[in-house]
Chains A and B, each alone.
Chain A
């Protein structure tokens, strides 16, 4: 490993932070200088994420640790101690996978914003908040410390709400900002309370150490209460029904490129949820219960998300409810995996052998995790296309749009690609991951599979109707509409290429990126603890 790859985890947080702190100062030099600076920071961040992922996926797959301060980055325990005392970052397959998603979405969102925000006020602060949001998401995905996770969660909450309320001239954005901030704070406080309970119980804050303590001492009542609080808080932050009230407002009222990054934010909370369920509480008797809780969340989320998408006439709220329903698919895949894993653990089977034989639980996990990447790409694409449309037409109301495809050819092509991918139509990426989820959940219970397939079909109908109304037909009084500028089309094109590439060659990506991530959750718990405490 070279020096840059060693320091990549911490640089992934530190570089966007540097950018965020310096952006208002650089912005004094003018808009062009600021755009160059922000573009450079975002590109460097994405390159670091790529480096980290390439380094990890080419390696042995063992988790790597980066310790802040102390005698050196590789020494998690001081001599003679059994407790890690410093904050550390731990990169395993799942973290490396999540950083890739975040880097992709941020890259597209930030470059799209350069054109989107050109004639608007407050650009310096906008890009500063965007970089802070990115830094927070990376921190959540990489950290190995419970309290540090909470701190990054709060950074993303505040930055996200700043961005949601950024267009102060919109009545609804202020209402959404207040509502979302209240719920984000509440979810953050639930997480903090859980961290406090775990600290009181185990005297440490490191995830690996707490996991090993729970493994040796057994799950006590306090641990269970902490698990309940973490589940509630993180499910709320991820936007799972019945705690989803904030999600459509947040996605709908935020500026379009930010909505795309907010999806990555929700997925980071989902990552936290999976980390808690698989690593922290990966053993014990209540595993199966946790899995069924996830499945109930999932079915409700899919169903409610799609049903409410049916009645929307606002293009961004429509996509927002689509995004809510997709969170359900991820929860479904991983929930099925958790239930199956619980029964295997109870039966005393070796989890590693099951993964190599591609047990249906493992396939479900692959599907759920692969769907996170696909969802980020296609929802991101849809939000960007919607942003281009609203910017050109000046309205978000689908009933006032019509015939936009005559003027906005490329945007309409990108919108339909995103819509098909979201609904799981074959040549696109949504199909690849949803197929894995359908297959695997059918083996647990056909009912789950039927709900998932029916909801996908309904989602397709919703989006085809929206496309028909907004892009097809005759032009309706929107004569001044022009195609989006090149600066907006390029990020959309990149995301569309990703959508198509993942749809055409799913096998390659599943083998090289998704399987290590799924294995990290499926049987990586001992390795995760062993990387910190030694032995394993």
Chain B
């Protein structure tokens, strides 16, 4: 394996796939309250797309596109957003879901009980938390992968 990543086949397939994987990850995050999935799963899918990029092009190849410091800051922002959403309900109790079924325009709709086709604009803070966790997981795992890849490379060359 050279410093620039893997063979042409892998790189071409990666170029085709990684955008799709990222979009699919965002879809899973977005519909976490309706279909199987959620912030963690979607975040992991997006992070796997990043990992694919890293493996195919090497750490040097993605240097401009994936910046470790920005990713780390975004992860902290995600964590703070999640904690903030949990704090938002503290008037009633920590983690109180103050938007669910409140009728507000933001995820405030109520849902009929029993099997149905699902309402996107419902769930209160749950979809928001999905986004916060999704952001956190995708950037966090990407950070770990980048750092460990670069660290292990150093090992190999020394």
Contact = CB atoms under 8 A, between A and B. Distances in A.
Q: Give yes or no for direct A-B contact (beta carbon below 8 Å).
A: yes
Interface of A: 7, 10, 14, 17-18, 21-22, 24-25, 66-73
A67 B77 CA distance: 26
B120 interface: no
Contact of B72 (A7, A24, A66): A24
B26 to A, nearest CB: 23
Interface stretch (B60-68, B88-96, B104-112): B88-96
Given A25-B77, A72-B93, 9 more contacts: A7-B94, A14-B83, A14-B87, A18-B80, A21-B80, A24-B73, A69-B89, A69-B95, A70-B96
A66 B87 CA distance: 14
B73 A25 contact: yes
A23 to B, nearest CB: 9
B79 interface: yes
A71 B80 CA distance: 24
Contacts of A72: 92-93
Contacts of B76: 21-22, 24-25
- Which of A10, A21, A22, A68 has the most chain B CB atoms inside 10 A of its CB? A21
B93 A17 contact: no
B83 A68 contact: no
Given A14-B86, A14-B87, A69-B89, A22 B94 contact: no
Nearest to B79: A21
A419 B72 CA distance: 43
Nearest to B94: A10
A14 B94 contact: yes
Contact of A22 (B80, B87, B90): B80
B73 A70 contact: no
B97 interface: yes
A21 to B, nearest CB: 4
Contacts of A21: 76, 79-80, 83
Contacts of B86: 14
Contacts of B96: 69-70
B29 to A, nearest CB: 20
A179 B93 CA distance: 40
Given A21-B76, A24-B76, A25-B73, A73 B83 contact: no
A22 to B, nearest CB: 6
Given A24-B72, A25-B73, A71 B83 contact: no
A70 B93 contact: yes
B133 to A, nearest CB: 13
A10 B89 CA distance: 13
Top 6 A-B residue pairs of the complex, sorted by shortest distance between their CB atoms: A73-B93, A69-B95, A68-B95, A21-B79, A10-B94, A21-B80
Contacts of B93: 66-70, 72-73
Contacts of B72: 24
Nearest to B96: A69
A69 B83 contact: no
15 contacts: A7-B90, A7-B94, A14-B83, A14-B86, A14-B87, A17-B83, A21-B79, A21-B83, A24-B73, A25-B80, A66-B93, A67-B93, A69-B89, A69-B97, A70-B93
B73 A68 contact: no
Contacts of A17: 83
A69 B94 contact: yes
Nearest to A89: B94
Contacts of A7: 90, 94
Contacts of B79: 21
A71 B94 contact: no
Contacts of B80: 18, 21-22, 25
